[in-house]
A = this chain, B = another copy of it.
């Protein structure tokens, strides 16, 4: 099971400014929980940092940990959203997952994180 504890962070170099950071991972892969067949996606993490930013190499390792996990498109997108929201406590956060062709379909799931108590 992928664990958000492996995510590392560093201090936001410009906390006085609301600016947008967007990382797109082109090599996400997990397994279909019904058939066991591999699924592939591009995952975009778009956020406005508050106190901390996510370190890119640790984000890669966090994504790699899904490689052999069976999980639905809708569920994995929401879990990434919760994990990153919880780890970064950002001012804003959106996850976009673009799933490649599966049975004649392409799919996109888009989820936005809302802090329990938003401070903006």
Is A88 in the interface zone, CB < 8 Å from B?
Answer: no
Task: Give the oligomeric copy count.
Answer: 10
Closest to A34 in B: B57
Chain A: interface residue total (CB-CB under 8 A): 50
A103-B57, A104-B60 known; A77 vs B22 contact (CB < 8 Å):
no
A27-B40, A38-B64, A64-B37 known; A14 vs B78 contact (CB < 8 Å):
yes
Contacts of A10 in B (CB 8 A): 72
Binding site for B on A (CB under 8 A): 10, 12-14, 17-27, 29, 34, 37-38, 40, 49, 53, 56-57, 59-60, 64, 67-68, 72-75, 77-78, 81, 100-112, 114
